[in-house]
Amino acid sequence: MHNRKSCISIQHVYKKFGKHEVLKDINLEIEEGEIFGLLGPSGAGKSTLVKELAGLDVPTSGENYIFDEKMPTLKLMQRIGYMAQADALYEELSANENLHFFASLYGLKGKKKKERIKKVMQLVDLSDHLNKLVSNYSGGMKRRLSLAIALLHEPEMLILDEPTVGIDPVLRKSIWDAFYDLNKKGTTIIVTTHVMDEAEKCDRLGLMRDGTLIAVGTPEALRKETNSESIEQAFLVYGGATS
Ligand SMILES: Nc1ncnc2c1ncn2[C@@H]1O[C@H](COP(=O)(O)OP(=O)(O)OP(=O)(O)O)[C@@H](O)[C@H]1O
């Protein structure tokens, strides 16, 4: 575990869509260098929360701070890599053209731009498909391309919304290896998932249900505290305790 300063601070965050309260008084500190997982069933509010962290939405009340800046702010665009749940790709362009477009948005130029494109495509195992149109990519390939784009500018913080959905177990492992490598170099990673074995790979987890953070801790602590053998079981205990 890392013992560093907080780089994300979520303070009394609420979010309403009409009358539907999707986030209810979320409070959370995430430390620099952590791999932090948000785990919860569909509709728990994970995507809504990470979208706010990425600066794409705002809370109804409460505040999100990243690197001591109140979100949303354009200032942090260079320092954050965000991978949305729905791929934001230009289908009618090739992967290479997509990468060039996003690299330019991040201010990458010339040799550096080419190097980064090569590197990120190797990382997601798509080097052989660089010139293919995205419309001819499979769902899993699109996910991997989205991940490559999020990594282009070597951000200090990665916010990943279900990054491995639709990706086979072998590639999933290699993608997680890449996360560990980046994390070792200091990248903070926030990842949403509902896959239990992915949850085990995180330094700490936040368990979410119905817009509430029902527990936060290391996978081990969450299991111990509930006398559970698995995170899944721990989740049920915490869930049951609050209902
Ligand atoms: N723009 C929106 N307008 C209205 N309701 C929304 C909007 N975005 C999300 N919601 C609702 O907010 C709730 C939480 O959705 P969210 O996508 O954050 O959940 P999630 O935990 O990420 O689920 P999943 O794993 O399925 O993505 C859901 O009930 C969803 O229907």
ipTM given for this complex: 0.95
Distance (angstroms) between ligand 1 centre and the Cα of 84 equals 13
> Does residue 60 have its Cβ closer than 6 Å to ligand 1?
no
> Does residue 23 have its Cβ closer than 6 Å to ligand 1?
no
CB 27 within 8 A of CB 11: yes
The DSSP-derived string for 158-227 is EEEESTTTT--HHHHHHHHHHHHHHHHTT-EEEEEE--HHHHTTSSEEEEEETTEEEEEE-HHHHHHHTT
Distance (angstroms) between ligand 1 centre and the Cα of 22 equals 7
Per this entry, what is the length of the chain?
A: 243
CATH superfamily of 6-242: P-loop containing nucleotide triphosphate hydrolases (3.40.50.300)
| pLDDT tens-digit readout, 18-65 | 999 999 999 999 999 999 999 999 999 999 999 999 999 999 999 999
The structure's pTM equals 0.92
Q: Which residues contact 64 (CB under 8 A, 6 or more apart)?
A: 8, 9, 10, 11, 13, 52, 53, 70, 71
| pLDDT tens-digit readout, 76-117 | 988 999 999 888 899 999 999 999 999 999 999 999 999 999
Q: Which residues contact 7 (CB under 8 A, 6 or more apart)?
A: 30, 31, 32, 66, 67, 157, 188
Q: Where are the domains of the chain?
A: 6-242
Mutate to test the pocket of ligand 1, among 48, 192, 194 (most ligand atoms within 8 A of CB): 48
